[in-house]
């Protein structure tokens, strides 16, 4: 009898891909480097909507925002617009639970629409009156049985959680760095898995497990770090902390970014230590040989690039995310270097990697890339594989954006009812830092046509679609 592989799925919020790349950010990540060396690191893993809730919803459901209900970050304001992961949205965790897996979720969720009671029992309203934290009722956990989680709370040193069958008013408050505490909880889960009958799961009879660990750091506030954190980054010059050519080192933004970077890298290194703790536990419990380990993020951070600090923009610093895999099967290095993995591809690909591709819900929009990643067969010689980009306007001043990122190019189109259509086109091979917006009308029209075709194929409606069609037809 062939054992079903376990899954350890690890998410670090706002952890950008550049932290793990040779020649990338000036940060030390030995445990993640070792994980990548033992497995593969995808070069073109993309957050299709690089802000917390929309990416997480796509990652869980395999659906685009209009279908899963998460078109913006989830908080008390957007909840009144109907934003929140729909109860009937498909979930890879539900599929695995139905396949006999013991499922668990630890840490940040940020997919539940807050209700007024969450203003009392969660973190509470911020200065602008909005509240982000939310309790997830038992019937809205999308396939996760073990639950040690919260909605959205940026208090890294005084976190809180709702556990098991606890009610909204029965939260657990903790003193200590959130990522370290959540790793402690995960280690306890793994120990139960390692000692269960059969040695491979938490359920009776040794059922396989699928555990998600979702850390909030290195998300801000950047100064909330664990004891003994690495202070060496504070001594580095701005030119080393912000080594990307698209950072203007003489600007006020770069000076602020340099201060952020030293703390951000300290958090990244501290997260790396937690990864090491998890990997060591898998080895000690004899779980490593049959466990698929994945480390990823929901989005990155600009940190001074293009004169921006944070995320939710269509630049590589925000869009590209780490996706490091080590598993029972070997992965194709060629496929890892060239395959474009988008937010909606994660759910069906996870199910494919765990051998339950036959149970992928038909409602999922993403592609199961497992056969490609495991064999490398079927790699297209052109740019056929691509990720859609989304940004839904928050107010009347915002543009409504859509885009298409391939392994070699990125095309972004924005539309505003008064200002019309804008476009950005970048050659990511010759111009990886996106410094040269290509204006050649022939190239712009061809990429506009590709975006139009991709949106149509994905059955995605967009307010700028008529203007995009006019651009394509203007030849």
Query: What are 246-256's pLDDT values in tens digits?
Result: 999 999 999 99
Structure tokens at 469: 């069609």
Q: Both 352 and 408 in a single domain?
A: no
pLDDT above 60 for 39 = yes
Residue 200: pLDDT band (50, 70, 90) is very low
Which among 90, 57, 89, 91 is positioned nearest to 73, based on CA atoms? 57
Q: Both 368 and 405 in a single domain?
A: no
What's the domain range around 408? 386-472
Q: Is residue 106 part of a domain?
A: yes
Q: Do the strands 400-406 and 291-296 form a parallel or antiparallel pair, or are they unpaired? A: unpaired
pLDDT number for residue 170:
97
Name the CA radius of gyration of the chain, rounded: 21
pLDDT above 90 for 381 = no
pLDDT number for residue 198:
45
- Percent of the chain having pLDDT more than 90? 93
Domain boundary among 326, 354, 375: 375
pLDDT number for residue 475:
74
Residue-wise DSSP of 353-365 = HTT-GGG--TT--
Q: What does the pLDDT average to over 356-374?
A: 96
pLDDT number for residue 3:
79
Q: Both 366 and 438 in a single domain?
A: no
* Out of 1-5, 135-139, 360-364, 420-424, least confident range: 1-5
Structure tokens at 244: 């990307």
Q: What is the mean pLDDT of the chain?
A: 94
pLDDT above 90 for 379 = no
3-state helix, strand, coil in the chain (%, to 5): 35, 15, 50
CB neighbours of 231 closer than 8 A, spacing ≥ 6?
Answer: 266
Q: Both 154 and 287 in a single domain?
A: yes
Query: Token pair 């759910």 is at which residue?
Result: 347
pLDDT number for residue 236:
95
Q: Both 170 and 293 in a single domain?
A: yes
Residue 2 and residue 136: Cα distance in Å, rounded? Answer: 35
Cβ pair 186, 178 in contact under 8 A: no
Helix axes 346-353, 52-61, angle to 10 degrees: 40
Q: How many helices (H) and strands (E) does the chain have?
A: 15, 15
pLDDT number for residue 453:
96
Domain boundary among 375, 400, 432: 375
Cβ pair 390, 64 in contact under 8 A: yes
Query: What are 117-129's pLDDT values in tens digits?
Result: 999 999 999 999 9
Query: What are 316-355's pLDDT values in tens digits?
Result: 999 999 999 999 989 999 999 999 999 999 999 999 999 9
pLDDT number for residue 193:
86
Residue 378: pLDDT band (50, 70, 90) is low
Cβ pair 285, 190 in contact under 8 A: yes
Query: What are 281-323's pLDDT values in tens digits?
Result: 999 999 999 999 999 999 999 999 999 999 999 999 999 999 9
Domain boundary among 375, 404, 439: 375
CATH of the domain at 179: 3.40.720.10
CATH of the domain at 446: 3.30.1120.10
Q: Both 99 and 236 in a single domain?
A: yes
pLDDT above 60 for 205 = no
Query: What are 262-281's pLDDT values in tens digits?
Result: 999 999 999 999 999 999 99
pLDDT above 60 for 2 = no
Q: Both 433 and 302 in a single domain?
A: no
Total domains in the chain come to 2
Structure tokens at 65: 């925002």
Q: Both 309 and 411 in a single domain?
A: no
Q: Both 279 and 398 in a single domain?
A: no
- Percent of the chain having pLDDT more than 70? 96
CB neighbours of 406 closer than 8 A, spacing ≥ 6?
Answer: 340, 383, 384, 385, 386
Q: Is residue 381 part of a domain?
A: no
């Amino acid at each position: 009898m062939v054992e079903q592989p376990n899954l350890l799925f690890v998410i670090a919020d706002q952890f950008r891909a550049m932290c793990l790349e040779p020649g990338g950010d000036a940060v030390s990540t030995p445990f993640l480097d070792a994980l990548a060396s033992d497995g593969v690191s995808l070069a073109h893993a993309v957050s299709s909507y690089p802000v917390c809730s929309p990416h997480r919803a796509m990652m869980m459901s395999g659906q685009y925002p209009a279908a899963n209900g998460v078109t913006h970050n989830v908080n008390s304001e957007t909840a009144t617009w109907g934003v929140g992961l729909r109860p009937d949205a498909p979930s890879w965790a539900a599929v695995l639970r139905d396949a006999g897996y013991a499922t668990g979720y630890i840490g940040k969720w940020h997919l539940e629409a807050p209700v007024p009671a969450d203003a009392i029992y969660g973190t509470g309203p911020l200065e602008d009156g909005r509240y982000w934290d939310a309790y997830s009722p038992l019937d809205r956990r999308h396939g996760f049985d073990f639950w040690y989680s919260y909605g959205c709370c940026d208090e890294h040193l005084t976190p809180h959680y709702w556990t098991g069958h606890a009610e909204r008013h029965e939260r657990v408050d903790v003193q200590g760095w959130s990522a370290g505490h959540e790793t402690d909880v995960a280690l306890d889960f793994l120990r139960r898995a390692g000692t269960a009958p059969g040695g491979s799961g938490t359920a009776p009879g040794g059922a396989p497990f699928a555990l998600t660990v979702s850390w909030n750091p290195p998300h801000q506030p950047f100064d909330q770090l664990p004891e003994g954190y690495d202070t060496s980054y504070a001594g580095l010059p701005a030119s080393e902390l912000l080594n990307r050519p698209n950072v203007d080192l003489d600007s006020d933004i770069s000076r602020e970014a340099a201060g952020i970077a030293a703390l951000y890298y300290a958090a990244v290194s501290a997260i790396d230590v937690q990864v090491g703790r998890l990997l060591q536990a898998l080895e000690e419990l004899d779980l490593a040989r049959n466990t698929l380990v994945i480390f990823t993020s929901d989005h990155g951070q600009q940190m001074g690039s293009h004169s921006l600090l944070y995320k939710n923009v269509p630049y590589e610093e925000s869009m590209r995310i780490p996706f490091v895999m080590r598993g029972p099967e070997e992965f194709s290095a060629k496929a890892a270097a060239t395959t474009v993995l988008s937010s909606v591809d994660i759910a069906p690909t996870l199910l494919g990697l765990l051998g339950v591709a036959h149970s992928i819900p038909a409602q999922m929009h993403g592609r199961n890339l497992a056969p490609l990643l495991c064999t490398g067969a079927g790699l297209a010689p052109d740019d056929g594989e691509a990720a859609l980009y989304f940004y839904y306007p928050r107010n009347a001043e915002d543009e409504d954006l859509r885009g298409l990122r391939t392994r070699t190019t990125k095309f972004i189109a924005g539309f505003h009812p008064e200002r019309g259509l804008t476009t950005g086109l970048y050659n990511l091979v010759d111009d990886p830092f996106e410094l040269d917006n290509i204006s050649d009308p022939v190239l712009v029209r061809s990429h506009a046509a590709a975006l139009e075709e991709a949106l149509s194929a994905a059955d995605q409606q967009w307010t700028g679609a008529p203007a995009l069609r006019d651009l394509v037809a203007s030849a």
